[in-house]
Amino acid sequence: MIRVGVIGARGRMGAEVVRAVEAAPDAEVVAAIDADDPLSTLTEAGVEVAVDFTHPGVVMGNLEFCVANDIHCVVGTSGFDGPRLEKLTSWLAPKPSLGVLIAPNFAIGAVLSMRFAELAAKYYDSAEVIELHHPRKLDAPSGTAAHTARLISQARAAAGVPAMPDATVEEQLGARGTLVEDVRVHSLRISGLIAHQEVVFGQEGETLTIRHDSLDRKSFMPGVLLAVREVAKHPGLSLGLDKYMDL
Amino acid sequence: MIRVGVIGARGRMGAEVVRAVEAAPDAEVVAAIDADDPLSTLTEAGVEVAVDFTHPGVVMGNLEFCVANDIHCVVGTSGFDGPRLEKLTSWLAPKPSLGVLIAPNFAIGAVLSMRFAELAAKYYDSAEVIELHHPRKLDAPSGTAAHTARLISQARAAAGVPAMPDATVEEQLGARGTLVEDVRVHSLRISGLIAHQEVVFGQEGETLTIRHDSLDRKSFMPGVLLAVREVAKHPGLSLGLDKYMDL
Amino acid sequence: MIRVGVIGARGRMGAEVVRAVEAAPDAEVVAAIDADDPLSTLTEAGVEVAVDFTHPGVVMGNLEFCVANDIHCVVGTSGFDGPRLEKLTSWLAPKPSLGVLIAPNFAIGAVLSMRFAELAAKYYDSAEVIELHHPRKLDAPSGTAAHTARLISQARAAAGVPAMPDATVEEQLGARGTLVEDVRVHSLRISGLIAHQEVVFGQEGETLTIRHDSLDRKSFMPGVLLAVREVAKHPGLSLGLDKYMDL
Amino acid sequence: MIRVGVIGARGRMGAEVVRAVEAAPDAEVVAAIDADDPLSTLTEAGVEVAVDFTHPGVVMGNLEFCVANDIHCVVGTSGFDGPRLEKLTSWLAPKPSLGVLIAPNFAIGAVLSMRFAELAAKYYDSAEVIELHHPRKLDAPSGTAAHTARLISQARAAAGVPAMPDATVEEQLGARGTLVEDVRVHSLRISGLIAHQEVVFGQEGETLTIRHDSLDRKSFMPGVLLAVREVAKHPGLSLGLDKYMDL
């Protein structure tokens, strides 16, 4: 049994993590702490892997403590920039067997979609991204769509694929979507939807479409569990859940 | 057997019409004329229904001749504005049993899609249109998509449906598509595609999607044949193939 | 304000109805009763429209009481066969202004899908139904899919459409789905899905696809509210929510 | 310029290959032969890579000649079983720098779909395959769909994924499709379609769908060109175009 500590256990994601780990046959929650609880609870409980869904203001302190105490870390909290990653790397330097995963997205389908899009990119003349979300979303396009577009763009550039064909000369403003690097992204906001994304690739005579539908926050849990099981096998700092997957 | 005359018979669409009528069990081509042939060929051949796929510069002359000679007309040529329709109506006034159909689109799936979109519009909070075409297309959005958006917008207005929910405050230019009246339209240009359209409706807990895929010019022929069979039963001027369908 | 009484108010659907009516600007719940409460609560509260989501064993008694007391009825309970409908019709005979709606499905998207499928059926050579549900579902195909297939089959028969083309000579058992009348239905059971249906129509050169995704029980509420608002305007017995819609 | 010889150049696929190679900037057709032409034409023309779309009765003779004469081979002809592959391997043994590719499918989208399905398989509870073809197809399911199902089944078995959840107790015969190993496959035959496939994966809260639409025989040509460019870099016998792709 993997001994798991959940940091931010009373938050929405943290609470889901507690439930998911407890339902898993090979892991157990031995510590579930939140803002008011001391980090020493983790060491006292003998935590092997800590899962952190907190916020940018406290996550670095949590990580410093865990690394110092030889606890592997799975982190879904956002806000990691270059300086933070450097600091984390320096903390990890004297701990060659310790693993830390920072992942922006634990939905396995989102991770697979992005990776497949990246792999397919160089084989097609055209690629565009459609993302569809509930109408309460504040930004367009979604971060995942923009990231997917960037991966496609970079893969095409690396392979020397020429610019996409597009004869449009008369465009009503916005019809052709927004450009993320050189990939078009289209954002729909539809009542009743949750979070959905479709990447469409095409060349003469055929198209390939990769669609991900995320219907519930529960969809992140298989990815969190996968990370909990794999983190000890991947020493050092890993960015993105795909690093733990066979892709 | 319905005696059909094809005007513009050497054009791409006209040639398809000749083939389609000849393959039909209940109609036959008795005259197939093009730019250099006299219109009198139609009357000499005893044409009952003329099908016109020519161009805006000649179609009015063709129609004047046909109406004067009691030939029903099925017209796929574009360029009909208010004054032209008025003139046509005046020609038809003394011919109470003669039918003329002017249709912008003979693809039955496109006609059904637009009609269904119009019918569904007032029952949903949100509606957006995605159209996907080959990258040689010059304009965005497509005429059919813009027309569909207009039908949805008008149906919502007529039923007093409130504005669509949309909390977007941070939009990268063009991400949310273009507005046709108050309906968002998104245009993709993908190598390998032909002509495709998807209308997405949504409200709390459910979505409805109507998709039309047009893969070949042949897809217009069932609509042309339907019009050839129905035009004599619909005296006067009809606009749009849906007028001949049970919708 | 329409004065609504909810029968079966503590059931899953009944509780949703109470919430939805209370959130509506033009209706209010004046009585919410369940198994142990007397029906006279409805008359004492001055209920104009009763909504019944109970079970086949009690619904006839509820309806007899409501009709006798001039209360319009919206019924989502199942189990109505010929004899029950005849009895209901006889109760309604002396009440020319009273309306009763019996509807198997209040999801507007499902109602629209079925109606559109019925309207499109005669214009296409081929039509098949795919339904996709969560893997806890006990029967395959779903009742809605079977009903949709029957509507398509009957519309084709009424229009004299020839049998669908199908050259299959070597079929691995079950590959081509099950036949409902003469329409093929395919059932998928996929973890993560809720209730989804796709009807695919095709003819030379084009296809039309109508897809309905139902993600939440809440999706029935707009249909229930529509029925509550319309039932008084439709005297007599109506079967199916589409009777109250402009289709 | 890669010097290409096309064997079976007057067949449907061979003729497309000739056109595609001639349109490529880095390859040229220096020999195009068919049934009546001597194989020595290939050596006389200095062919570096031979492309064979012929039939099972002659392909082994063609390959024996090419291997003996140090010509790399790209083969789309079917009919390769164990004994044939062994014989080919023995011919190649004394030619350590010669490459031969045998590929059942040159559509890049089909190859990517299958590979992505194989990669995704172990991360999901449920997986089913839908294939949709024109109604003139003789067999169901399609070979590609059956192959995809087998890849999914084997990937799940290798990873120890438990059986898919499915509570169906009342199935109308065929509704749940056919089983290929333990993966359900559903075959639709729809007029207007060409060749399409959709793989649906799901787990609690999310689904992933991989769809491939093949609209034209031209869609095989980018794969053939990729093979022509890569075959010399992959000595020995390779089975499947994916061996030449970065997947």
What are the DSSP calls for A189-243, one per residue?
A: E-TT--EEEEEEEEETTEEEEEEEEE--GGGGHHHHHHHHHHGGGS-EEEESGGG
Between D104 and A88, the higher pLDDT residue: A88
Measured CA to CA, the distance from residue C108 to residue A177 in angstroms comes to 31
Nearest CA in chain A to C212: A192
- Please tell me whether residue C238 adopts helix, strand or coil conformation: strand
**Nearest chain D CA: its distance from A157 CA (Å):** 15
Measured CA to CA, the distance from residue D188 to residue D168 in angstroms comes to 21
Token readout for A212 is 């991900």
What's the rounded mean pLDDT across residues A137-147?
94
B12 is in an annotated binding site: yes
The residues of D whose Cβ lies within 8 A of any Cβ of A are: 107-109, 112-113, 116, 119-120, 123-124, 201, 203-222, 226, 245-247
Helix H or strand E segment including C228: helix C221-230
The residues of B whose Cβ lies within 8 A of any Cβ of C are: 107-109, 112-113, 116, 119-120, 123-124, 201, 203-222, 226, 245-247
Q: Do domains A2-102+218-244 and A108-215 have the same CATH topology?
A: no
Token readout for B35 is 């730019």
**Nearest chain C CA: its distance from A132 CA (Å):** 14
What's the rounded mean pLDDT across residues A31-50?
97
What's the rounded mean pLDDT across residues D1-15?
96
Would you call the peptide bond into A96 cis, given omega within 30 degrees of 0 as the criterion?
no
Q: What is the domain partition of chain C in residue ranges? A: 2-102+218-244, 108-215
B13 is in an annotated binding site: yes
From C72, C133, C147, C186, the catalytic residue:
C133
- What residues of C are in contact with residue D189 (Cβ under 8 Å)? 126, 128, 164-168, 176
**Nearest chain C CA: its distance from B82 CA (Å):** 30
User: Under a CB-based contact definition with an 8 Å cutoff, are residues C174 and D173 in contact?
Assistant: yes
CA distances to B100, B172, B180, B199 from B141, rounded to whole Å, are: 29, 19, 9, 13
C192 is in an annotated binding site: no
Nearest CA in chain D to C131: D175
Out of A137-141, A213-217, B8-12, B15-19, least confident range: A213-217
A192 is in an annotated binding site: no
* Confidence at residue B218, expressed as pLDDT on a 0 to 100 scale: 83
* Confidence at residue A236, expressed as pLDDT on a 0 to 100 scale: 96
Superfamily of domain D108-215: Dihydrodipicolinate Reductase; domain 2 (3.30.360.10)
What's the rounded mean pLDDT across residues B144-164?
97
Which residues touch D46 (CB under 8 Å, ≥6 apart)?
A: D3, D30
pLDDT tens for residues B173-196? 999 999 999 999 999 999 999 999
C79 is in an annotated binding site: no
Out of A109-123, A207-221, B118-132, D170-184, least confident range: A207-221
pLDDT tens for residues A117-135? 999 999 999 999 999 999 9
B126 is in an annotated binding site: no
In 3D space, the residue among C50, C85, C45 whose CA is nearest the CA of residue C67 turns out to be: C50
CB contact under 8 A, D138 and C169: yes
Residues facing D203 on adjacent strands: D206
Q: Best interface-test mutation with A: which of D112, D152, D208, D213 has the largest number of A CBs within 10 A?
A: D208
Cα C83 from chain centroid (whole Å):
20
Percent above pLDDT 70 for chain A: 100
CB contact under 8 A, B166 and A174: no
Percent above pLDDT 70 for chain D: 100
Residue linked to tokens 């690097």:
A181
Q: Which of A109, A208, A211 sits opposite D112 (nearest CB)?
A: A208
First to last CA, chain B: 27
* Confidence at residue D137, expressed as pLDDT on a 0 to 100 scale: 93
Token readout for C90 is 């006889």
A46 pLDDT exceeds 80?
A: yes
**Each residue's pLDDT expressed in tens, for chain C with a length of 247 residues:** 999 999 999 999 999 999 999 999 999 999 999 999 999 999 999 999 999 999 999 999 999 999 999 999 999 998 899 999 999 999 999 999 999 999 988 999 999 999 999 999 999 999 999 999 999 999 999 999 999 999 999 999 999 999 999 999 999 999 999 999 999 999 999 999 999 999 999 999 999 999 999 988 788 999 999 999 999 999 999 999 999 998 8
Which residues touch C40 (CB under 8 Å, ≥6 apart)?
A: none
Class of domain C2-102+218-244: alpha beta
Q: What is the mean pLDDT of chain A?
A: 96
**Nearest chain C CA: its distance from B98 CA (Å):** 25
- What residues of C are in contact with residue B123 (Cβ under 8 Å)? 108, 112, 222, 226, 245
Residues facing B31 on adjacent strands: B5
pLDDT tens for residues A70-127? 999 999 998 899 999 999 999 999 999 999 999 988 999 999 999 999 999 999 999 9
pLDDT tens for residues D56-67? 999 999 999 999
From B72, B133, B147, B186, the catalytic residue:
B133
Measured CA to CA, the distance from residue C129 to residue C197 in angstroms comes to 7
Nearest CA in chain D to A210: D210
* Confidence at residue D217, expressed as pLDDT on a 0 to 100 scale: 75
CB contact under 8 A, A120 and D113: no
**Nearest chain C CA: its distance from A65 CA (Å):** 37
User: Under a CB-based contact definition with an 8 Å cutoff, are residues A204 and B193 in contact?
Assistant: no
D69 is in an annotated binding site: no
Cα B226 from chain centroid (whole Å):
13
* Confidence at residue C218, expressed as pLDDT on a 0 to 100 scale: 83
* Confidence at residue A170, expressed as pLDDT on a 0 to 100 scale: 94
CB contact under 8 A, C219 and A194: no
Catalytic residue ranges of A: 133, 137
- What residues of B are in contact with residue C108 (Cβ under 8 Å)? 123-124, 203, 206
- The DSSP string of C123-170 is G-SEEEEEEEE-TT--EES-HHHHHHHHHHHHHHHHHTPPPPP----E
Cα D212 from chain centroid (whole Å):
14
In 3D space, the residue among A190, A208, A103 whose CA is nearest the CA of residue A198 turns out to be: A208
B217 pLDDT exceeds 80?
A: no
- What residues of A are in contact with residue D205 (Cβ under 8 Å)? 214-221
Nearest CA in chain D to A119: D247
Nearest CA in chain A to C193: A215
SS (H, E, C) chain D: CEEEEEECCCCHHHHHHHHHHHHCCCEEEEEEECCCCCCHHHHHCCCCEEEECCCHHHHHHHHHHHHHCCCEEEECCCCCCHHHHHHHHHHHCCCCCCEEEECCCCCHHHHHHHHHHHHHHHHCCEEEEEEEECCCCCEECCHHHHHHHHHHHHHHHHHCCCCCCCCCCEECCCCCCEEECCEEEEEEECCCCCEEEEEEEEECCEEEEEEEEECCHHHHHHHHHHHHHHHHHCCEEEECHHHHCCC
In 3D space, the residue among A69, A74, A82, A80 whose CA is nearest the CA of residue A99 turns out to be: A74
Measured CA to CA, the distance from residue C229 to residue C119 in angstroms comes to 26
CB contact under 8 A, C174 and D170: no
Instruction: Fill in the amino acid letter for D64.
Output: E
Residues facing D99 on adjacent strands: D236
What's the rounded mean pLDDT across residues A207-221?
92
Q: Best interface-test mutation with A: which of B168, B193, B194 has the largest number of A CBs within 10 A?
A: B168
User: Under a CB-based contact definition with an 8 Å cutoff, are residues D30 and D9 in contact?
Assistant: no
Q: Which of B108, B208, B215 sits opposite C109 (nearest CB)?
A: B208
B33 pLDDT exceeds 80?
A: yes
* Confidence at residue B6, expressed as pLDDT on a 0 to 100 scale: 98
Catalytic residue ranges of D: 133, 137
ipTM of the complex: 0.89
* Confidence at residue C219, expressed as pLDDT on a 0 to 100 scale: 87
Between B72 and B246, the higher pLDDT residue: B72
CB contact under 8 A, B206 and C215: yes
**Nearest chain C CA: its distance from A131 CA (Å):** 17
- The DSSP string of C32-79 is EE-TTS-THHHHHTT-SEEEE---HHHHHHHHHHHHHTT-EEEE----
Residue linked to tokens 């190598």:
B191
pLDDT tens for residues B85-110? 999 999 999 999 999 999 988 999 99
Token readout for A89 is 């790397």
- DSSP assigned state of C99: E
B70 is in an annotated binding site: no
**Longest CA pairwise span in chain C (Å):** 67
What's the rounded mean pLDDT across residues D105-134?
96
Measured CA to CA, the distance from residue D73 to residue D94 in angstroms comes to 16
